[in-house]
């Protein structure tokens, strides 16, 4: 085949391609969302507070307390052993004693007063 014969064939191919519409296909969902009204009426989601400090403390009776403080000062996690399940203590407003399951905690990430179930209140400090 010579170049003279290829030119008309190329022109026909280009003409055919130029006639195509290169628009993207639009996909729509015409079915309404069955959960739309339920989701619209839900209360806003509140994210959990960020960790403020995670400290280990030595108490007056020489025991250890592992305390995780959270932003907002209305929640802490307390463990008496490093691998124990933490107990979540909460307060209605910042500055109130944090309580749960016989535990009471007041203080800050440097020093706390901790009451544990079956024990009297004792001061626990970092370092």
> What is the full DSSP assignment across 44-88?
PPPPPPPEEEEEEEEETTS-EEEEEEETTSSEEEEESSTTSPPEE
Judge contact between 91 and 99, C-beta under 8 A: yes
Token code pair at residue 88: 């979540």
Which of helix, strand or coil describes residue 96? coil
Q: What is the DSSP letter of 99?
A: E
- What is the total residue count of the chain? 127
pLDDT tens for 70-94 read: 999 999 999 999 999 999 999 999 9
pLDDT tens for 30-74 read: 788 888 889 889 998 888 899 999 999 999 999 999 999 999 999
Average pLDDT score, the chain: 88
- How many alpha carbons fall within 13 Å on the CB side of residue 75? 11
């Amino acid at each position: 085949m010579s170049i003279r014969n290829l030119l008309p064939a190329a022109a026909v191919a280009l003409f055919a391609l130029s006639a195509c519409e290169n628009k993207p296909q639009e996909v729509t969902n015409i079915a309404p969302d069955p959960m739309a009204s339920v989701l619209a009426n839900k209360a806003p989601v509140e994210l959990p507070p960020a960790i403020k400090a995670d400290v280990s403390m030595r108490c007056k009776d020489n025991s250890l307390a592992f305390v995780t403080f959270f932003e907002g000062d209305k929640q802490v996690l307390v463990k008496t052993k490093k691998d124990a399940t933490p107990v979540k203590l909460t307060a209605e407003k910042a500055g109130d004693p944090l309580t749960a399951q016989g535990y009471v905690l007041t203080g800050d990430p440097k020093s706390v007063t901790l009451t544990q179930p079956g024990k009297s209140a004792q001061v626990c400090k970092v370092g």
